[in-house]
């Protein structure tokens, strides 16, 4: 049955399928960190639905919340009508928001994916400002629909000015650190103030506080504060895309809390639905330029997702899982730094909370005089991913060259599980290198 399912799905589904290519498994059961395949093998899942499963698979509080709605006889589909379930979700979500946004927040339910909420956010700031251009960053990932795709580096219509996202390891200015980030900020400032740049009056700026798909690149707090100042001074709404960084993942409930900035708009999805599809935009009330019907969508009222999401949000908050992610993530990062010291092919280890990346490089390809880090090693990364799978560990690849091994474990990860994950990863790396 196992082989048949794999074969039939490969023949029937589009070649666009990605995860399935690298992970030839047929999950039939899952709990917490563990997935069980149809062949009876068990895997530690550090892909977590691409960062969706804050509480891991089938957490009891999530299942209970879903069952409660099912047993209550409540309607499962109600478009955007008010319901007790929606009321609970919104109240719980607003409770977690940065206070200065929560005080005057509006919410727009979008549906049902992160990219839909990105679209809604871009449309909202364009409506509210009457302007059209969007500022986005190199290496960004915001989704796969047209506007979101443009903001991620595509070219389908929305005019997007692409600005340098600061990073230490492959700093666009070859400097890294505070000075590299400051140069990136000044680049942005100059572009906005240059009448010839074509973007003196953009509708908004969208950024990820930690780039996820881009290769786990945490933005420096100072740079984020500069982006906040630069946009505020020019009345440009700042959109924080917290689709992947939200709900405790980076060690604070929302990743913008590290820098203390308050965005004007937040795009939220993945973990807020407690493993079911849910996406929202939250924004300051004075940006609420939409009239009735200005933004619509049939599947904006998923009651099961709202119930699962509310249960997840309150569980993360009450059990201080963001703090747990910060402590455990820092410890794991420290241990992974040991691997970087041991293997020249581990070019960089970085992350924030339980959003961790190992950038694999090819030191042999480095010309002795060339500045900067060695070239990316995507094949080695794919080998490591394969070796991980052989050892019962699911990891994700990311980064511009797919050379970054990514760990996105659930926030409920225990110390023992963290050790098991790191042991298997170390073994896999050893096997891939030799
Ligand atoms: N924004 C970010 C930061 C993401 O990581 C993703 C998905 N990886 C998206 C938007 C798009 O979300 P979805 O895949 O649900 O459309």
The string over 207-244, giving b where at least 16 C-beta atoms fall within 10 Å of a residue's C-beta and e elsewhere, is: bbbbbbbbbbbbbbeebbebbbebbeeeebbbbbbbbb
Axis crossing angle, helix 177-193 with helix 221-233, rounded to the nearest 10: 10
Q: What is the pLDDT of residue 295?
A: 87
H or E segment to which residue 384 belongs: helix 378-390
The string over 116-130, giving b where at least 16 C-beta atoms fall within 10 Å of a residue's C-beta and e elsewhere, is: bbbbbbbbbbbbbbe
Nearest atom, ligand 1, residue 245 CA: 3
Residue from 48, 118, 143, 399 to probe ligand 1 pocket by mutation (most atoms less than 8 Å from CB): 143
Residue indicated by tokens 């700026």: 205
**Residue 202 corresponds to which tokens in the numbers above?**
């953009």
Average predicted confidence (pLDDT) for the chain: 94
Residue indicated by tokens 């420290």: 334
Q: Is the ipTM of this complex over 0.95?
A: yes
| Length of the chain, in residues | 434
pLDDT at 401 over 70: yes
Of the pLDDT bands very low, low, confident and very high (cuts 50, 70, 90), residue 159 is confident
Nearest atom, ligand 1, residue 211 CA: 3
Q: Do domains 2-59+320-433 and 74-318 have the same CATH topology?
A: no
In this structure, which topology does domain 74-318 adopt according to CATH?
3.40.640
**Residue 405 corresponds to which tokens in the numbers above?**
């091994």
Provide residues with CB under 6 Å of ligand 1.
Answer: 50, 113-115, 118, 141-143, 208, 212-213, 241, 243-244, 269
CA of 241 to the centre of ligand 1 (A): 9
Lowest mean pLDDT across 139-148, 238-247, 322-331: 139-148
- 8 Å CB contact between 306 and 89: yes
Lowest mean pLDDT across 1-15, 21-35, 408-422: 1-15
Q: What is the pLDDT of residue 157?
A: 65
Residue 376 DSSP class: B
- 8 Å CB contact between 94 and 102: yes
Lowest mean pLDDT across 127-131, 133-137, 161-165, 293-297: 293-297
Domain ranges in the chain are 2-59+320-433, 74-318
Lowest mean pLDDT across 295-309, 339-353, 395-409: 295-309
H or E segment to which residue 70 belongs: helix 60-72
Q: Is 393 helix (H, G, I), strand (E, B) or coil?
A: strand
Instruction: Report which of 253, 263, 252, 199 is spatially closest to residue 225, judged by C-alpha positions.
Output: 263
Lowest mean pLDDT across 108-112, 203-207, 294-298, 320-324: 294-298
Dist CA 174 CA 168 (whole Å): 8
Across residues 157-180, what is the average pLDDT? Answer: 88
Nearest atom, ligand 1, residue 113 CA: 15
Q: What is the pLDDT of residue 2?
A: 84
Of the pLDDT bands very low, low, confident and very high (cuts 50, 70, 90), residue 10 is confident
CA of 52 to the centre of ligand 1 (A): 10
The string over 286-309, giving b where at least 16 C-beta atoms fall within 10 Å of a residue's C-beta and e elsewhere, is: ebbeeeeeebebebbbbbbbbbbb
Across residues 119-123, what is the average pLDDT? Answer: 93
- Give burial (CB, 10 Å; 0-12/13-18/19+) of 413: buried
Across residues 258-274, what is the average pLDDT? Answer: 98
- Give burial (CB, 10 Å; 0-12/13-18/19+) of 327: exposed
Tens of pLDDT, residue by residue over 383-395, are 999 999 999 999 9
- 8 Å CB contact between 27 and 6: no
Of the pLDDT bands very low, low, confident and very high (cuts 50, 70, 90), residue 367 is low
CA of 195 to the centre of ligand 1 (A): 33
Q: Whose CA is nearest to atom 12 of ligand 1?
A: 114
Nearest atom, ligand 1, residue 145 CA: 16
Q: What is the pLDDT of residue 375?
A: 94
pTM of the predicted structure, to 2 decimals:
0.96
Q: What is the pLDDT of residue 199?
A: 81
CA of 136 to the centre of ligand 1 (A): 15
Of the pLDDT bands very low, low, confident and very high (cuts 50, 70, 90), residue 25 is very high
Q: Enter the CATH code of domain 2-59+320-433.
A: 3.90.1150.10
| Residue 36 dihedral angles phi and psi, to the nearest 5° | -110, 130
């Amino acid at each position: 049955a196992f082989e048949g399912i794999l074969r039939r799905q490969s023949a029937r589904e589009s070649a666009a399928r990605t995860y399935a290519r690298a992970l030839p498994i047929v999950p039939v059961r899952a709990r917490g960190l563990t997935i069980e395949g149809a062949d009876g093998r068990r895997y530690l899942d550090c892909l977590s639905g691409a960062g969706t499963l804050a509480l891991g698979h089938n957490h009891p509080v999530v299942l209970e919340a879903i069952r409660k709605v099912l047993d209550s006889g409540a309607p499962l589909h109600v478009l955007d009508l008010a319901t007790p379930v929606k009321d609970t979700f919104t109240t719980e979500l607003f409770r977690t928001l940065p206070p200065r946004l929560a005080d005057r927040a509006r919410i727009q339910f979008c549906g049902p994916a992160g990219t839909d909420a990105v679209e809604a956010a871009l449309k909202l700031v364009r409506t509210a400002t009457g302007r059209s251009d969007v500022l986005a960053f190199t290496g960004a990932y915001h989704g796969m629909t047209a506007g979101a795709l443009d903001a991620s580096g595509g070219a389908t219509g929305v005019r997007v000015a692409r600005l340098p996202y600061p990073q230490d390891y492959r700093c666009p200015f070859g400097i890294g650190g505070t000075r590299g980030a400051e140069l990136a900020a000044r680049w942005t400032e100059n572009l906005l103030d240059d009448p010839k740049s074509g973007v003196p009056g953009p509708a908004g700026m969208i950024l990820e506080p930690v780039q996820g798909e881009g290769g786990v690149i945490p933005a420096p707090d100072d740079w984020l504060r500069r982006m906040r100042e630069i946009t505020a001074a020019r009345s440009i709404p700042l959109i924080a895309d917290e689709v992947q960084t939200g709900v405790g993942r980076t060690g604070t409930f929302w990743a913008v809390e590290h820098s203390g900035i308050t965005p004007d708009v937040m795009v939220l999805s993945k973990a807020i639905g407690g493993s079911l599809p849910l996406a929202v935009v939250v924004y300051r009330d004075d940006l609420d330029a939409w009239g009735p019907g200005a933004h619509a969508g049939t599947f904006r009222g998923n009651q099961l997702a709202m119930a699962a999401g509310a249960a997840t949000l309150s569980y993360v908050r009450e059990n201080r899982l963001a703090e747990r992610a910060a402590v455990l993530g820092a410890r794991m990062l420290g241990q992974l730094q040991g691997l970087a010291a041991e293997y020249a092919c581990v070019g960089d280890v970085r992350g924030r909370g339980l959003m961790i990346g190992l950038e694999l490089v090819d030191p042999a390809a480095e010309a002795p005089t060339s500045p900067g880090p060695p070239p990316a090693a995507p094949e080695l990364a794919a080998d490591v991913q394969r070796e991980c799978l052989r050892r019962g560990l699911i990891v994700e690849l990311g980064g511009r060259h797919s050379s970054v091994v990514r760990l996105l474990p659930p926030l409920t990860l225990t110390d023992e599980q963290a050790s098991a994950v790191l042991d298997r990863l170390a073994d896999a790396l050893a096997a891939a290198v030799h």
